[in-house]
Amino acid sequence: MSLHTAEHDSAERITAGHVTAEQGPAGPVKIGIRGVGKTFRIRGSDRPFTAVEGIDLDVREGEFLTLVGPSGCGKSTLLDLIAGLTAPTTGQILIDGRAVDGPGLDRGIVFQQYALFPWRTALANIEFGLEAKAVPKRERRERARHYLELVGLSGFEQRYPHELSGGMRQRVAIARSLAFDPDVLLMDEPFAALDAQTRESLQEELLRIWEKTNKTVVFITHGIDEAVYLGQRVAVMTSRPGRIKQVLDIEFDSREGDLRADPGFGEYRHHIWTLLRDEVAAAQEQERTVG
């Protein structure tokens, strides 16, 4: 499977381990994160809780960016901010140069726990976003069928979520987010609850769908392998308060065969592992003291 388009290849030919600035090298900026910080007030404490701080990051149009960091580093907070579900305390987030002021159908989210509506069939779940978009019923049905087919679940239209396996539920959730045709797909550890085989097959399929649909993807994970396998760039976050520690370009000569066995893959993963090691220790220390 050839992942990178020729255009990307020429723009991104950077040797393994080389670290670029936060600014992506080419393409129009889709998501601009400018000096973003988020603090929460927590009950029974005077000290505000800083989830993320001073985040600067640009995601280019059509790019697949993975975001990796220790648990509790504010990855999900950052995703909520991009989604417009919460407002940043400082800085701002731009989509196509316009400041985000709330959730919208230009961004679709895929959650780790699927978040499917249990009273709706697979097909009706996919139609949900289209209903919000006021798409006529007939077209809704057609588009829902199309996206169910895209995720390889034709024939499961009338199944309720509880009648589907975890991997199938996540496919439906992905189809639901794709169906209303957002420019940006935000994925919050979507495969973390799945077993290893299912996860790998879904990773592969996600890349196939991404190639086909040209979405801008921001994919959160705490798995280094997953980050390297999926991302064109990997943003590594620090422990709380979360900042961007480094952004790595991921480039392989070929994605044929077992990519995970590629020596380049090992180099990337070791590099990120080294970056994360101290952060993980710091995060664990934090958990103990806050505990």
Q: Does the protein bind other proteins through residue 149 (CB under 8 A)?
A: yes
Which runs of consecutive H residues, i.e. helices, occur in 66-158?
75-83, 122-132, 137-150
Question: Among 222, 252, 267, 282, which residue interacts with other proteins (rule: CB under 8 A)?
Answer: 222
Task: Answer yes or no: are the C-beta atoms of 230 and 64 closer than 8 Å.
Answer: yes
Residues 68-97 touching other proteins, rule: CB under 8 A, are 70-71, 83-85
CB of 151 to other proteins, least distance (A): 8
d(CA 10, CA 15): 12
Q: Which stretch binds other proteins (CB under 8 A): 3-11, 124-132, 137-145, 230-238?
A: 124-132
Q: Does the protein bind other proteins through residue 128 (CB under 8 A)?
A: yes
Residues 190-209 touching other proteins, rule: CB under 8 A, are 194-198, 200-202, 204-205, 208
CB of 27 to other proteins, least distance (A): 25
Question: Among 17, 48, 54, 155, which residue interacts with other proteins (rule: CB under 8 A)?
Answer: 155
d(CA 275, CA 239): 11
Of residues 232, 277, 178, 271, the one with CA closest to residue 64: 232
Q: Does the protein bind other proteins through residue 217 (CB under 8 A)?
A: no
Annotate 140-161 with DSSP letters as a single string: HHHHHHHHHHHTT-TT-TT--G
d(CA 217, CA 61): 9
Pairing of strands 184-188, 216-221: parallel
Strands (E), the chain: 19-20, 29-40, 49-60, 64-68, 90-95, 98-99, 107-110, 184-188, 216-221, 233-237, 244-249
CB of 122 to other proteins, least distance (A): 11
Nearer Cβ to other proteins (14/207): 207
Residues of the shown chain interacting with other proteins in the complex, contacts defined by CB under 8 A: 70-71, 83-85, 102-105, 107-109, 111, 113, 115, 117-121, 128-129, 131-132, 149-150, 152-156, 159-160, 162-163, 165-168, 180, 194-198, 200-202, 204-205, 208, 222-225, 258, 260-261, 266, 269, 273, 276-277, 280, 283-284
